[in-house]
Structure 1
Amino acid sequence: MSARRATVVLVGPPGAGKTTVGGELARLLGVELLDTDEDVERREGRTISDIFIDDGEAHFRALEHAAVVRALEAHEGVVALGGGAVEHPETRAALRSVPVVYLDVSMAKALPRVGLSGARPLLVDSPRARWKALMDARRPLYQEVAGLVVLTDDEPVERLATLIAEALERGELRPRDET
């Protein structure tokens, strides 16, 4: 598989494996992974949970959108977005110009992966009900931006990354603006 220096964006709910699959995909493609949640935390010098508590979700979403814009403009590699990034209409518009993969996951597989700690501020109270509500709202947005949907439930990370890399190499995964 030849290295390809093109931005590939991974979207999906908490627990879908965006960062994990993204790391393996970046390795396969010979590029770097940029996780926008990690970028926000690094720039702010605090966790996403602390940003939510101190400044509220709206402030975090503005920081998140800025991180996505920076990544799409400057990063030549794999970009893993936070689960709620697709809620911002300008983010969805920007994603039309890059290949996007929606990593889907069932609630049964996602919740054990994310745990039930305060690290996921939107899942703290009633995690199952919150996760379902988030997915009901976000699933159409993930589908809107994605050129490829991959279910991560029972596939090994290496296999998922290979499927995405092969779709890129075959030209099956292109920006929505080109389809």
Structure 2
Amino acid sequence: MGRLVAERLALPLRDTDADVEATAGKPISEIFVDDGEAAFRALERAAVATALTTHDGVLALGGGAILAEDTRARLGEYADAGGAVVFLDVGLASATRRVGFNRDRPLLLGNPRAQLMQLMDARRSFYLEVATVTVPADGAADDVADAVLAELTARQSGPTSGPEAGA
């Protein structure tokens, strides 16, 4: 989704999962196996912190990045400074189709559907806490990208002062 939005806005895309893999020199699944989730999460927090201060474009975060309190704080500061934080609100059926039952996703081992549901439930309130824009993301990728752009446009043309500004 990030790629489509970035292309339509003619902005560069940066993916913090790719940053983590570049820093570690190995895929995320290997980081989990070799170093553990805590090591991965530390790399992820650092990648998000760096990207938020150095990247001028569309930034895609890994699904679990939102779990870190310092990441949520940084996203809040970014939003307070006028940046848009978009939550793509996807249902279980769509998430299952997108993710599949990919065994390269360490947090989905065992019963992938149940694990995915648990992860989504644990993360949703955090996404809503920091999002300045929430877009239902169960449709086709092009339709979701269009909805993101429409919401961003509406946000830019919205109020410039008062309690709603920057929301």
Please give the range of the TM-score, normalised by the shorter of the 2 chains: 0.7 to 0.9
| CA contact 1:49–1:118 (8 Å) conserved in 2 | no
Q: Which has the higher contact order (CA 8 A, sep 6+)?
A: 1
Look up the match of 2:44. 64
Give the letter for the 1:107 counterpart.
L
Instruction: Trace 1:65-80 onto structure 2 (pairs within 5 A).
Output: 65-80=45-60
Deviations 1:38-84 (A, max 9, x none): 11112211011100111111110000011101110011110110000
Look up the match of 2:145. 161
Give the SS at the match of 2:97. Answer: helix
Instruction: Trace 1:22-171 onto structure 2 (pairs within 5 A).
Output: 22-96=2-76, 97=78, 98-154=83-139, 156-170=140-154, 171=156
Instruction: Trace 1:9-20 onto structure 2 (pairs within 5 A).
Output: none
- Distance in 2 of aligned mates of 1:31 and 1:110: 26
Q: Which runs of 5+ in 2 are unaligned?
A: none
Give the SS at the match of 1:103. Answer: strand
Deviates most, 58-67 or 129-138: 129-138
Alpha-carbon deviation of 1:159?
2.3
Q: Which has the larger radius of gyration?
A: 2
- Distance in 1 of aligned mates of 2:137 and 2:149: 15
TM-score normalised per structure 2 = 0.86
CA separation of 1:112/1:165 partners in 2, compared to 1, >3 Å: closer, same or farther? closer
Give the letter for the 1:67 counterpart.
A
- The number of residue pairs the alignment matches comes to 156
TM-score normalised per structure 1 = 0.81
Alpha-carbon deviation of 1:142?
0.7
Compute the RMSD of aligned alpha carbons: 1.9
Give the SS at the match of 1:42. Answer: helix
Look up the match of 1:13. none
CA separation of 1:43/1:177 partners in 2, compared to 1, >3 Å: closer, same or farther? farther
Alpha-carbon deviation of 1:158?
2.1
Give the SS at the match of 2:14. Answer: strand
- Distance in 1 of aligned mates of 2:55 and 2:36: 28
- Distance in 2 of aligned mates of 1:177 and 1:43: 37
Q: Which runs of 5+ in 1 are unaligned?
A: 1-20
Give the letter for the 2:110 counterpart.
D
